[in-house]
Structure 1
Amino acid sequence: MYREWGAAGVPGAVLWGSVSGGGETRVLPDGCLDLLWSSRSGLLVAGPDRTAHLSRSAPGDRWIGLRLPPGTGPAVFGVPAEELRDCRVPLADLWGRAAAEVTERVEAALAAPGAGSAAGVLTRVARDRLRAAGGPDPVGARVAARLAAGATVAATAAEVGLGARALHRRSLTLFGYGPKTLARILRMRRALDLARAGAPLAEVAARSGYADQAHLTREVRELAGVPPSRLLAPATA
């Protein structure tokens, strides 16, 4: 069981919740950072992944998450994204006592739903942290949007007024990796969306900027760990 819904007050963020049936879930890289609550592990921060993360859960494990759009996480968590790359860390490692206060609020919401949802707690915490930080770096949203639309790294750098090296340094801080890696990840996400909408893989490759279908397959395998056919296969009961 998995669902997503909007996060009011945090532009571009998505709330999600799940109850695990047990086993392994393949979480694809997306350039995002997540604030997570787990019934098993408490509050965690999921950093930006370069390749698919395999999450293992027991039956009945519950998850609530706030997925922050690319470039927003550092303003919320107070650390450069590259320090969280490919990591899952307890929120307390970043916020100390403040994390304990958030934990108390989440647990109170879970115990007494009338006091507000746990997802609402995560949203309000992120919103308040963003306001205190003066908002996310606006360059992050501009870079991510241009790369998601298929712009080249060079064109993106020119549009945001940064040189190649400056863009690379800024990207490490905002996304956890350089703009070329982010572009590859966002192109894969765009291609998979087209494929899920019913486009044949050869057409998907052409529309997404891959040289051919074989190039698409290699890229997806490198980033996701499995070929597109595996990701697009219907779930079995």
Structure 2
Amino acid sequence: MYAERPSRLAGAVVWTAAPAGPRAWPVLPDGCMDLLWHEGRLLVAGPDTRAHAVDGAPGRWAGVRFFPGTAPALLGVPAHEVRDRRVDLADLWPAHRVRSLTARVAAAPGPARGLEEAALALAADGDPADHLAGRIVAALQAGRSVAATADGLGVGARRLHRRSLAAFGYGPKTLARVLRLQRALALARGGTPLAETAALAGFADQAHLTRDVRRLTGMAPRALLGGGR
């Protein structure tokens, strides 16, 4: 059982999950990082370049999914260091900080609420937001090419790549593909036919959409649309 809601932290989502069987639905690439809680343990989910197979570990899960590019400044870890990984927060932070945050989450009415409060506190106390990262997302989300994005932001291709690695975990070309995947899924789940979805999301045609979805998720679009997140 999975449920989510918008967070009070701008652009973030708060979610809860309880695996219904030994194999849960895979988590799809979305350009985001998550702060996770699992039965009292805190973890960080790095940005995915492919579908992440959930092992169906028993017990409850909760998380805050940060808007793409915002988590590294809050958590103090470059995104590429945790790409395609789930890492114990204790491996990234000093022990006393982990104990303090764990106690804060435990004292809240529920782990999801506790994680959200922790994320809001990190945003209030941490470094300023990376506005360049937000502008990169906006440009690529609008369907601009990587070259046009670099030109529009007034940065060179190398700087754009470096900033993308730190903020998103991968280069701008991969980020553009991930964002395009999410645009396509949103359209298709809303009832838009796949051929029209491909055109609106920025694919050359439906065959291009199918190939890209398979590369990123390991599943065909119709099979993917038959499941959950």
TM-score range, shorter chain: over 0.9
8 Å contact 1:31–1:185 — kept in the other structure? Answer: yes
CA deviation profile, 1:34-87 (whole Å, cap 9, x unmatched): 000012x7110000010000011145x211100001110101110111101011
- For 1:206 and 1:5, the matched residues in 2 are separated by 29
8 Å contact 1:12–1:68 — kept in the other structure? Answer: yes
Give the corresponding residue for 1:101: 100
Identity across aligned pairs (percent)?
54
- Unpaired segments ≥5 residues, structure 1: none
Give the corresponding residue for 2:212: 219
Using the size of structure 2 for normalisation, the TM-score is 0.94
Q: 1:67 aligns with which of 60, 65, 68?
A: 65
**Secondary structure, counterpart of 2:36 in structure 1:** strand
- Unpaired segments ≥5 residues, structure 2: none
CA deviation profile, 1:149-168 (whole Å, cap 9, x unmatched): 21111111122221111100
Give the corresponding residue for 1:193: 186
Alignment: residue pair count: 226
Alignment RMSD: 1.5
- For 2:170 and 2:217, the matched residues in 1 are separated by 16
Question: How much has 1:95 moved relative to structure 2?
Answer: 1.4
Using the size of structure 1 for normalisation, the TM-score is 0.91
The structure-2 alpha-carbon separation of the partners of 1:58 and 1:44, relative to structure 1 and needing over 3 Å to count, comes to closer
Question: How much has 1:127 moved relative to structure 2?
Answer: 2.1
Give the corresponding residue for 2:7: 7
Give the corresponding residue for 2:123: 130
> 1:92-171 alignment to 2 at 5 Å?
92-96=90-94, 97-109=96-108, 113=109, 117-171=110-164
> 1:197-212 alignment to 2 at 5 Å?
197-212=190-205
Q: 1:76 aligns with which of 74, 77, 84?
A: 74
Question: How much has 1:179 moved relative to structure 2?
Answer: 0.3
- For 2:142 and 2:163, the matched residues in 1 are separated by 19
The structure-2 alpha-carbon separation of the partners of 1:120 and 1:135, relative to structure 1 and needing over 3 Å to count, comes to farther
Question: How much has 1:108 moved relative to structure 2?
Answer: 2.8
8 Å contact 2:74–2:127 — kept in the other structure? Answer: no
- For 1:128 and 1:105, the matched residues in 2 are separated by 11
Structure with the largest fraction of strand: 1
